[in-house]
A and B are shown apart, each in its own frame.
Chain A
Amino acid sequence: MGPIDPQTVQVELERRVGRDLFMHLETTTGSYTLLGPEKRPPVIAFVRNAPIHPERGSITGPGPYRVGLKLPGGWVYAEGLTDFEVSVRDELLLAGHDAEGNLTIALQLSTQPFRE
């Protein structure tokens, strides 16, 4: 995984538009925020292997980047994406990392279900 090249990601998104896809979407603060100096409660959400069929998909912004996927009956939106990889299983992995390398957000698309 390395820094997002928006042109390459746009091509990878378009290659998947109009197909039946499985999506992993996640944001996370980590579970230990209450122990941190600001004592904030954790805020975490993930959806794994949601079936979607996007009809349009774009990456925007100067970086960190945003991705929007237009669905027949709704939207997928992710902001704060910094890094990407196309895995050996041809999964498009988009992620945001903070300055320390911690994952903050992930948006992943694959024609095959993600593991489990």
Chain B
Amino acid sequence: MNRVELVTKPIDHLTEGLDEFVPANERHLLVVLPHPDDESFAAGGTMARCADANVPVTFLCGTYGDMGRRMGSPFFATRESMRDVRVSELREACRVLGATPRWLGLRDRTVEFEDPHDVAARIRDHLDELSPSTVITFFPGHAVHPDHDALGHATHLAVRTWAGGRPNLLAVAVGDRADIRAKLGPPHVYCDVRSVVERKLGALAAHRSQTEMMFQRWERGDEDDEQTRTFREEMLVLERYYRLPLD
């Protein structure tokens, strides 16, 4: 991979018709996603750009990722050490991105079985305290992993029922790009992450147990398919979001 080429590559063809996310207009960015590493993949560049603009950034992490199946490559974590491993990985990733981590303390893979109103109430406590101008979460129903969908739903619920303000609610859709476009149309907002790509990569690398294998593949250049290559190339230049309606 030629990183310099990626960074200087124009992104106009990817951003046509989309609104630009402007960190300088923000007061506080709150990211609510269920797993340590979700933040770096989905919004790491947006978080680093906000930190660069002196906007406080909080990552409210739903679970400890303690049911992950990636154990490192070669594996170094066990089911029982996974929580401590991922907590310290996330602390380091957040340090790289300039964000503060917080925890909802749910169990990995069980978010969809909690009462969404309870989870939303707990998220609202953080909204009260932080009063974010923008909240980023997963697009409920379009985020592949059940924890992603469930926490996206609870976050949507929390923001809709929050009496303290009307933040922008931005949602990340996961999965096959063409499939997402067919169902949701084009995204609404983009954040140009070319200026912070090294930190996004640094944060991803901090999640060693989860991303080591991916980086090894990148280095070997033997990605499975075109879709994975496109995902990687686009992830290093921009992040795209859908606006979720609050009414």
Q: Which A residues are closer than 8 A to B by beta carbons?
A: 1, 24, 26, 28, 30-32, 34-37, 44, 46, 83, 85, 87, 89, 91, 93, 95, 97, 100-104, 106, 108, 114-116
Please pick, from A1, A91, A103, A116, the residue contacting B107 in the complex, using a CB distance under 8 A.
A116
Q: Least Cβ distance of B47 to chain A in Å?
A: 23
Q: Which B residues are closer than 8 A to A by beta carbons?
A: 67, 69-75, 78-80, 83, 107, 109, 144-146, 175-176, 213, 224-225
Are A101's CB and B74's CB within 8 A? Answer: yes
Are B144's CB and A35's CB within 8 A? Answer: yes
Please pick, from B146, B176, B213, the residue contacting A101 in the complex, using a CB distance under 8 A.
B213
Residues of A within 8 A of B71 (CB): 97, 101-103
Residues of A within 8 A of B73 (CB): 100-101
18 A-B interface contacts by CB (under 8 A): A1-B75, A26-B67, A31-B145, A31-B146, A32-B145, A35-B144, A35-B175, A35-B176, A46-B109, A83-B75, A87-B78, A89-B80, A93-B80, A97-B75, A100-B73, A100-B213, A101-B72, A103-B71
Write the chain A residue with the least CB distance to B216: A100
Interface of B is mostly: loop
Are A31's CB and B144's CB within 8 A? Answer: yes
Are B79's CB and A26's CB within 8 A? Answer: yes
Residues of B within 8 A of A108 (CB): 79-80
Count of chain A to chain B residue pairs whose CB atoms are closer than 8 Å in the complex? 63
| Complex: A31 Cα to B175 Cα, angstroms | 12
| Complex: A75 Cα to B55 Cα, angstroms | 56
Write the chain A residue with the least CB distance to B225: A37
Are A102's CB and B107's CB within 8 A? Answer: no
| Complex: A46 Cα to B109 Cα, angstroms | 10
| Complex: A89 Cα to B80 Cα, angstroms | 10
| Complex: A28 Cα to B144 Cα, angstroms | 16
Are A37's CB and B67's CB within 8 A? Answer: no
Q: Least Cβ distance of A34 to chain B in Å?
A: 7
Given A93-B80, A95-B78, A101-B74, 14 further pairs, Cβ under 8 A: A1-B78, A26-B67, A30-B70, A32-B144, A35-B144, A36-B224, A46-B109, A85-B78, A91-B80, A100-B73, A101-B71, A101-B75, A103-B75, A115-B80
